Amino acid sequence: MPVPVLQAIRRRLPDCGFYNCFGQSEIAPLATVLRPEEHDDRPASAGRPVLFVQIRVVDGEMRDLAPGELGEVVYRSPQLCTGYWDKPEETEEAFEGGWFHSGDLVRIDEQGYIFVVDRIKDVINTGGVLVASREVEEVLYTHPDVAEVAVIGLPHERWIEAITAVVVTRGDAQPDAILAHAREHLAAHKVPKAVHVVEELPKNPSGKLLKRELRERFGGTGSALGT
């Protein structure tokens, strides 16, 4: 959950304890948990591994990374799936090196808490610099008129990928106001090149955001607001 959204809910429900549960369907589905008493110190963390789950944060050669370095989180657990039905190549790739590859880009601290940066496939290459879509989303969520936001990379002849924000707003918030907010809180190369306002974001039946559909929808439309 984006930290600004989490903090707003905590303020409204001060007597509730929150659990941040992280994982995916292949691990049935829980891998890590941040408990209520841990939220004050690390609100952006997805917690530490639950019972019977082992995790590592590794580079592309399956070498363990030091605390603070970005890498993929991989799992071992008896609650993992054993493979994908009738897809031997995908199964072999997912379990390369004897660990399940999550596809999530994270960092881990000295105490073993993980911080999810982005899905690896959602990291945006803008002008040769990698930008996490989640980082841009976190900033846009702090705008009072932004109800939901998804940040994607779209093909661009100059920038390789153009950072693009797709936003559901409260009231009549305008793209230029949202963009001005981004400029105040982000480095210049992380500011979206375009902002699109929509009535709703596409999601699957379980509520997962479908960025693929947004890339298909806006990939050839040009900028709603150029920068």
Is the pLDDT assigned to residue 86 strictly greater than 90?
A: yes
Lowest-confidence pick of 38-47, 98-107, 147-156, 166-175:
166-175
Q: Which two tokens stand for residue 7?
A: 């903090």
Q: Which CATH superfamily groups domain 3-119?
A: Luciferase; Domain 3 (2.30.38.10)
**Domain 123-218 indexed as CATH 3.40.50.300:** no
Average pLDDT on 155-178 reads: 93
Cα dist from 4 to 9, 144, 188, whole Å: 9, 10, 21
Residue spans per domain, the chain: 3-119, 123-218
Buried-exposed string 101-128: b where 16+ CB fall within 10 A, e elsewhere: bbebbbbbeeeebbebbbeeebbbebee
Q: What is the pLDDT of residue 226?
A: 42
CB 63 within 8 A of CB 97: no
Band of pLDDT at residue 220, cut at 50, 70 and 90: low
pTM above 0.75, yes or no: yes
